[in-house]
Structure 1
Amino acid sequence: MKLLVPIMSVFLMVSGFRAPEPDEEVTIIIEVEQPVAEFVDELERRFPRLEVVARYDTLLNAAAVKGPVNELEKAARMETVRNQHAVTQYQTLATDEIPYSTHTLRNEMQTSYTGKGVKVGVIDTGVDYTHPDLTKNYQGGYDTVDFDDDPMETEGEGATIHGTHVAGVIAADGEMKGMAPDADLYAYRALGPGGMGTSVQVIAALEEAVEDGMDVINLSLGNDVNGPDWPTTHAVNKAVEMGAVVVAAAGNSGPDAWTVGSPATSSLAVTVGASSMKTEVPALKIPGEKQSINIQTLSGSVPWSLKKKYPVVYAGTGEKEMTDARGHIVLFERGGLPFFEKALKAYQAGAEAVLIYNHEEGSFSGGLNGSRIPIPAASLTKKEGLWLKEKAVEQNQWVETVMLPEDEQVAPFSSRGPVTTNWEVKPDLLAPGVAVWSTIPGGYTPLQGTSMAAPHIAGAAALLKEAHPDWTPKEIKSALVSTADVMEGKGESFLPTEQGAGVFNMEEALQPPLLFHQEDMVIGKVEGRLERKNLALTLENRTDEAVEVRFQQPERKQGETWELPLPFRLEGNETKEVSIGLGLNGSFLDDGVQEGYVSFQAGGVPYHVPYMYVNQKSTYEWVSGFEFTQRWPAGEKAEYRFHLSDPVDGIVIDLYRAGTMMWAATLVELGEQEAGMVEGEVSVKNQDLAGMYTAVVEIVHGGEKASYAFPVYIEGNR
């Protein structure tokens, strides 16, 4: 199969792109049909200018190849080439707040298990293995950024701390105690300076970890593709099938639905969202105003602990000179200067604190790149920032910091499910992810994010593996999910797509009286008006005593009819599959995500199985992962590729000039398409289309239209 070389790679979670020059070096992942070693030998013989930077022969049959675009084009024409993948970008998922420590959980668990003899791999920014709390447990690893045996955190420019923090939550054994303080710790550096990396490094790190025999692998990284079809997700699934428990952070794109990103969309991974403990959080109040604003400190900031009232001065995006901000809080708009430079400029001008509000709707998580200044810096939403600008800056009002009580809850930044295409509930469960205190190079600091929640579960998995060496990844995941505690909000529970099965309960998971296996509880998408779903739930009694199992009807919802098993006896050590029927009448159901819990008691112990389905349509994006690639050197042919979450009646792809947004050409017109990958080839010859464009993919389904815009660069014909 002849493939195209990517002229525009998709770098997820990073904005901006351009087309490389013919002689510019890029990296792609090439899947082949022959053994990888044979392909590499032939490639190196025929194309000496190309460099093989990674070989995959465990989870994928592929190689990552770096070199000039025109040489890669020739290599892609080799008969053995089966497929190619754009190199996607991954980054860490963290920010910062008031400390919470794994000491709390270990004291509550009262267990003698410490993870002894269990191998845990941390795929991240590397680990400072010289840290006194980590050096005893560190056993080695690999650096898939520099491709050597030294997975140390990045130092100097672009210095990182993330992987060391994650490693401490899992296995610190010193002044701080991690979840599994005697586990064997391995580091796989897949994210380089600034905490950035690509699928080349992530897949290579997964391969290294599996080949090194890791029992547990932690992935506190992610992108924003809410679908199950990306190469990294497939690699995660394969790693689990080969015996590793893979724990993935859900992402920090909450509180909107459909924001869990790959590889956390993996069906087999344990996907972890973040919960916050009952605590007090800083908020800002203005005299005479009822409204208060909760603030979220940036990663690397000192805690927000102002005791006095202060005036607020507005400084735009920070480019202009700032001479005197003594005794003020400086309010910036996001954009222009990096966060650290804004904060540093304010500090040098004498400011007491820094606030940065978003330049688009919603909240954001950011950091100071590992650098510290003595004043706190925090983020606001655009709405909050504009309100503060109007009420405090323009009306010359002073603001006061107050501490507000906050109950345990799903952290607002924690990404929500479900997942498109396979329509699964994600995350699987929650763990503490707000203001988690852990190790960093040279000391300790609190960070927050689902990156901090995931290693709690990785450490928990290590304890389970020590306690039950013969358990499979499926059994370990089931123990964590079956024993989780559904989190109750004020007046009602949080939704399954917010919390999965709930907050993990380590003590219960170590010796679970019963496990439930919910793989056959996926309901999917409902498009007919009358449908029946036949589901199955497997119950496994882990005790020697028989228990009576009693199901309770889910909360009554018009349009749903549940057929649940009658009470029955589950003998000691018996495994039983029970049938569950669900009748749906779309005429009475609201469109969108319908979700809840199927609950039952076994021996008086309550269990809650999350379920969800989509009725007719919802708010997820139908088109994602759009790629546009072009042949070199002539550039006469181009290939398009994207993921479609639902079948459609028709698709049109138009090009609009970047900037003016004037229509330029219609690239593609397609008829009916099934869900999944949509790809094809188009001619750009003699169309005078050189330049930057916005490609608008318009879909038609049932008389309705929706459109999605993606940046595209087309090189002129040569």
Structure 2
Amino acid sequence: MKNIRVFFIAVCLLFISFHSSSAHSWEIPPYPKTSTNEETIMIFSTSERPDENVIQSSLSGYRTLKIRYLFTDAFTGFSLKGQKHELEQFAKNFHQVKTVFESNVYTTDFINSGNNQLIGTEGVRGIRDRYGNRLTGKGVNVGVIDTGIDYNHPDLIGSYKGGFDFVDGDENPLEAMDRKGMTIHGTHVAGIIAANGKMHGVAPEVNLYSYRVLGPGGKGTTDQVLAAIDRSIKDKMDVINLSLGTNINGPDLPVSMALNNAVAKGIIAVTSNGNSGPNMWTVGSPGTSSSAISVGASTPTLNSPYLSVPSINGNIPLSPLHGSKKWSFDRSVPLVDGGIGKRGEIKKAEGKIVLIKRGGNTFTEKVLNAAKAGALGVILYNNTDGEFAGMVDKECPIPVASIPRNSGEKIQSETKRKALLATTIYKKEADLLADFSSRGPVTVNWSVKPDVTAPGVAINSTIPRGDYTALQGTSMAAPFVTGAAALMKQAHPTWKPEEVKAALMNTAKPLFDHNEKLYKVFEQGAGRIQVEKAVKTQSLVIPGSLSFGILTEDFKDRTRYLTIKNTSNTVQHYSFNQETFHPNIRWELPQSFYIKPNEKKRIPIRVILTRKFWDEKEIVDGRLTLEAGHQKINIPYLFAVKEPSYPRIMGFSIVPGDKPGYIRYEAYLPMGAEEFGIALFDSETLSFIEFLDFKDHIGAGMIDNQLSLPKQTFLRKITAVAFAKNKGEEDFEEWSIPLKNIEY
């Protein structure tokens, strides 16, 4: 009966996935002919500090295993590279192993597209530190964990002090600048923080360090990021910036835990929240770190280009590629599909905009081929989920912009049915939450993320070879906060990381949408940072937000504690403003009280459900207001009134196995699963083939396995649907797999 029930669930979910506009469906390239000795990376958490000699001795019986990194400060353990079966055997035999993690792929959190005044940096310059220096970040060590830095850039050469390259394994973290593997991300992030030349960063006089963990394509592994965090502790960084992430929403991922440990050791950790918005639960590690400052993206004042296409709901944001002509169309223009932009593939393009899929050839080749066919412009759409950044050679004669995969596929499908006209719409936007900015809350602990927001749309900054360009993404928002944290550290050198974080949250500006409705706290956190107010704050409320977990009729109340610190030189009066009222909630808050200068008080905050929420509401959020002298401090809060509809399964991926005819999969189950399985379907007929895997009563965390594929899938295109059920809720992810080249 169980298999029948699971089969029914899988069929229903598959039907939904093929007919819902929100389903995640994509096709990976044909499998390469895989070798039986394909290697992977595993991270081993240990009960004590790793001893390289002991580990090396234990590896003597394994042919392929090699030590990559030892972790001693941010994370206790080590990473190994080798064949999967040997790694698994080692994990069983090495007695010090507590937990084993597969290495995830971390990517840059940015999208290709002078906000210092907006966040209050210019006002801060008039404030001086205890030595009489203006607030410029002078003397503060800032580490950028990213794709490296072009430290020869005229605007960065004065700030750069050193670092390490974990991609190439040397002390030269120079950003890759060869045409094939060129990246620009780390240099752009560094400029927002520390540029001091033609443009000025938020904190132009910091001591800038670079830790290169993301290589060509902006990708890196978990252990490289862990090694960089570990190194930043040894190098005595004051602030570190991680504009990178995964799509896994869980607080127990190694990098998230490492950041918590780094903060406990005195480092202010700032991370991007991710670019998978606007839906809930899209924040990914390390934005899920409870101690780090996770940053969402807001808009400065700008005119943003959007594409409007009849029969496609909503306006699609356009991200111009670096090096291309300015995107400027003041009339409707016909739009035609150009495949992947190969020569001869683009037809009837005269006077039109050509839609081209990413992959198969370079961006420049695609654009030049379109220009030769008479196109007025090119829109590139991604071949994987999410947005992407890129650049074209400056000799490209027509403008080019990128859009996400799902938008591109919808337009491409419409071009098959009828002729399309595309119109460019320009919107003046300021202090709005960027659609791409990932939302919270975090699964498992239900904490508020992001913590704050900062400008992350059309941000101009440095890139390699002495150049500048505008990019957008939470990658661009995070370094504004990193620079702000450096200014805070200079102004208040004895403040702990949690105090700097609280100051930025306590003084943030809450943001409102187009309809003047306040964004949810799990969308914007406390709001957009205001640096001058943060530096001058007279009081701190720690933590800057409250999560009360899940409250039900059986467990109606919960108490959390806040520490109120008076940072001024006078006695301060404090009282909670209880103007807001909700018939289902009662708050028990302290009576008004006084705190002497430089003293603090720990107070209880209790929330009680007075009656059941009868509507469909799952998450209750809002703000408590503390009158602190002449300040009003908003404290975001959040709790669930029933088991939330969080994704029961995330990060599902399938890759070739270690021997012919096999695949390997992995998935993340935030709260475990009562039932988990993978069902195979024919992509053409939607007919069920068989179950590839099925398990029940699985604990929370990553799950992975290597399995043989049924031989009847040979030369067929199949769809694998992973499904998970927990506490009455089902969820699924799917992956289309062409198996033309698999070996049997």
Q: Identify the TM-score tier after normalising by the shorter chain.
A: 0.7 to 0.9
Given candidates 261, 269, 275, the residue that maps to 2:298 is 275
Given candidates 122, 126, 131, the residue that maps to 1:107 is 122
Q: Name stretches of at least 5 consecutive residues in structure 2 with no aligned partner.
A: 1-25, 127-133
Q: 1:101 to 1:503 in 2, by over 3 A?
A: closer
Q: 1:678 to 1:60 in 2, by over 3 A?
A: closer
Contact 1:551 1:601 in 2 (8 A): yes
Q: Compute the displacement of 1:277 (Å).
A: 1.2
Q: Whole-Å Cα distance in 2 between the matches of residues 521 and 355 of structure 1?
A: 43
Q: Compute the displacement of 1:215 (Å).
A: 0.8
Q: Map of 1:330-345 to 2, 5 A cutoff?
A: 330-332=354-356, 341-345=365-369
Q: 1:383 to 1:27 in 2, by over 3 A?
A: closer
- The DSSP-based 3-state class of the residue aligned with 1:226 is coil
Question: Which deviations, in whole Å up to 9, do the C-alpha atoms of 1:230-264 show, x marking residues without a partner?
Answer: 11111111111111111000011111111110001
Q: Compute the displacement of 1:450 (Å).
A: 0.5
Q: Compute the displacement of 1:51 (Å).
A: 2.9
- The DSSP-based 3-state class of the residue aligned with 2:556 is strand
Q: Compute the displacement of 1:119 (Å).
A: 0.8
- Which residue identity is paired with 1:426? K
Q: Whole-Å Cα distance in 2 between the matches of residues 628 and 528 of structure 1?
A: 41
Given candidates 642, 648, 652, the residue that maps to 1:616 is 642
- The DSSP-based 3-state class of the residue aligned with 1:53 is strand
Q: Map of 1:386-425 to 2, 5 A cutoff?
A: 394=418, 401-425=424-448
Contact 1:282 1:304 in 2 (8 A): no
Q: 1:548 to 1:254 in 2, by over 3 A?
A: same
Q: 1:171 to 1:312 in 2, by over 3 A?
A: same
Given candidates 147, 157, 166, the residue that maps to 1:125 is 147
Q: Compute the displacement of 1:433 (Å).
A: 0.8
- The DSSP-based 3-state class of the residue aligned with 1:409 is coil
Q: Map of 1:25-44 to 2, 5 A cutoff?
A: 25-32=39-46, 35-43=50-58
Q: Map of 1:304-703 to 2, 5 A cutoff?
A: 304-306=326-328, 308-309=330-331, 311-318=333-340, 319=342, 321-322=345-346, 325-332=349-356, 341-356=365-380, 364-369=386-391, 371-372=393-394, 373-380=396-403, 394=418, 401-442=424-465, 443-489=467-513, 490-518=515-543, 521-528=546-553, 531-553=556-578, 555-584=580-609, 585-588=611-614, 590-625=616-651, 643-646=668-671, 650-656=674-680, 659=683, 662-665=688-691, 667-671=693-697, 676-677=700-701, 694=720, 696-702=722-728
Question: Which deviations, in whole Å up to 9, do the C-alpha atoms of 1:484-533 show, x marking residues without a partner?
Answer: 11123332211111111111111111121111013783211234366112
Given candidates 112, 116, 126, the residue that maps to 1:96 is 112
- Which residue identity is paired with 1:477? K
Contact 1:591 1:617 in 2 (8 A): no
Q: Map of 1:198-347 to 2, 5 A cutoff?
A: 198-283=221-306, 293=315, 295-300=317-322, 302=324, 304-306=326-328, 308-309=330-331, 311-318=333-340, 319=342, 321-322=345-346, 325-332=349-356, 341-347=365-371
The count of corresponding residues between Structure 1 and Structure 2 is 694
- Which residue identity is paired with 2:567? R
- The DSSP-based 3-state class of the residue aligned with 1:410 is coil
Q: Compute the displacement of 1:559 (Å).
A: 1.8
Q: 1:333 to 1:42 in 2, by over 3 A?
A: closer
- Which residue identity is paired with 2:454? A
Q: 1:207 to 1:348 in 2, by over 3 A?
A: farther
1:21 aligns with 2:21: no
1:191 aligns with 2:191: no
Given candidates 71, 74, 81, the residue that maps to 1:66 is 81
Q: Compute the displacement of 1:566 (Å).
A: 3.0
Share of identical aligned residues, percent?
A: 34
More displaced stretch, 113-122 vs 32-41 = 32-41
Contact 2:101 2:702 in 1 (8 A): no
Tell me the residue number matched to 2:23.
none
Q: Name stretches of at least 5 consecutive residues in structure 1 with no aligned partner.
A: 1-12
Alignment RMSD: 4.0
Q: Whole-Å Cα distance in 2 between the matches of residues 668 and 310 of structure 1?
A: 52
More displaced stretch, 26-35 vs 140-149 = 26-35
Tell me the residue number matched to 1:146.
168
TM-score (norm 1): 0.85
TM-score (norm 2): 0.83
- The DSSP-based 3-state class of the residue aligned with 1:586 is coil
Q: Compute the displacement of 1:118 (Å).
A: 1.0
- The DSSP-based 3-state class of the residue aligned with 2:502 is helix
Q: Whole-Å Cα distance in 2 between the matches of residues 621 and 44 of structure 1?
A: 38
Q: Whole-Å Cα distance in 2 between the matches of residues 677 and 96 of structure 1?
A: 33
More displaced stretch, 364-373 vs 195-204 = 364-373
Q: Compute the displacement of 1:405 (Å).
A: 2.2
Q: Whole-Å Cα distance in 1 between the matches of residues 219 and 483 of structure 2?
A: 24
Q: Compute the displacement of 1:332 (Å).
A: 3.8
Question: Which deviations, in whole Å up to 9, do the C-alpha atoms of 1:566-599 show, x marking residues without a partner?
Answer: 3333333331222222111334454322111111
Q: Whole-Å Cα distance in 1 between the matches of residues 735 and 484 of structure 2?
A: 41
Q: Whole-Å Cα distance in 2 between the matches of residues 642 and 323 of structure 1?
A: 42
Q: Whole-Å Cα distance in 1 between the matches of residues 325 and 521 of structure 2?
A: 32
- The DSSP-based 3-state class of the residue aligned with 1:408 is coil
